[in-house]
Amino acid sequence: MTKIDPKRCTAPLAAFCFMTGYIDSISFSAIFVWCGFQTGNTVQLALALARLFSPGQTDFSFRIADRQALTSLLTFLAGASLGRLGDKIGNNTRLWLFLGTFIQTLFTMAAAIAAWKGNQPSVAESRGDPAWTDTLTFVAIGFMSAAVGLQGIMGKRVNSQFATTVVLTTVWCELMSDPKLFARKVVVTRDHRVLAVFALFIGGFVGRALLDQIGSAGALGIGTGIRFLIALIWLVMPAKLS
């Protein structure tokens, strides 16, 4: 139940950012939906609704891309809601940070199994032709999004320069407005934000590179292992000094 020091948790928080890019690279490559960036999915659903009211519209079907975006959004919110458990246990305690990350690990493992059982291509040819179309891949999307949703609320509760570790638009804005942006010395506020962006970028790069070698199920399997390692790292983070 010891509380960790948010200022000394750079490694696991950067790893969270890495996992955001990693998971999003897998989902976007297959279905052009972000499991972590729910702003895009929300706007996509708004466009789907607006399309129904277009003049001369005859196609009133809820297209598969829109169903996938809705699945991602709803399961992301469900995963984020699990973060409320941290309010009861203690958001910055080692117990919750380990337990919450372990739950993310189980979600990612479930997504890997669903993608493996679905046995569909890992990379889509075009936006109008997603690689994932069957029920099991909807399950994979759901568990991937839930894992990132829980990660986001946990990152937010730690209250560091890494923000939610999911959406980096705010981090970009804060970085560019940092008065010490070009200072030639260590500036924690700036350097941690740069690290967050870099970690997410590397996560996306690694995730996409693995898809061509071992497919989405294999990449999610590796992601499961990485999440478990992050869970273990939380157990050895320095305690907050009273």
**Model confidence over 158-192: pLDDT tens digits?**
888 777 788 777 777 877 887 877 888 887 778 88
> Buried (b) or exposed (e) across 15-25, using 16+ Cβ within 10 A?
bbbbbbbbbbb
Q: Which pLDDT score is estimated for 215?
A: 94
pLDDT tens digits along 39-79: 888 898 898 888 877 777 666 677 888 889 999 999 999 99
Chain position carrying tokens 């506020």: 189
In this prediction, residue 242 has a pLDDT band, given cuts at 50, 70 and 90, of: low
Structure tokens at 93: 């305690």
The whole-angstrom separation of Cα 92 and Cα 45 is: 35
* DSSP secondary structure letter of residue 8: G
- pLDDT > 80? residue 201: yes
Class of domain 7-44+64-234: mainly alpha
Q: Taking a C-beta distance cutoff of 8 angstroms, is the pair 206, 22 a contact? A: yes
Q: Which pLDDT score is estimated for 65?
A: 85
The whole-angstrom separation of Cα 145 and Cα 231 is: 18
Give the closest residue to 211 by CA, choosing from 114, 73, 115. Answer: 115
Give 63's Cβ-side CA count (13 Å radius).
16
Report in angstroms the alpha-carbon separations of 129 from 133, 136, 193.
9, 17, 36
Q: Which pLDDT score is estimated for 71?
A: 93
pTM over 0.85: yes
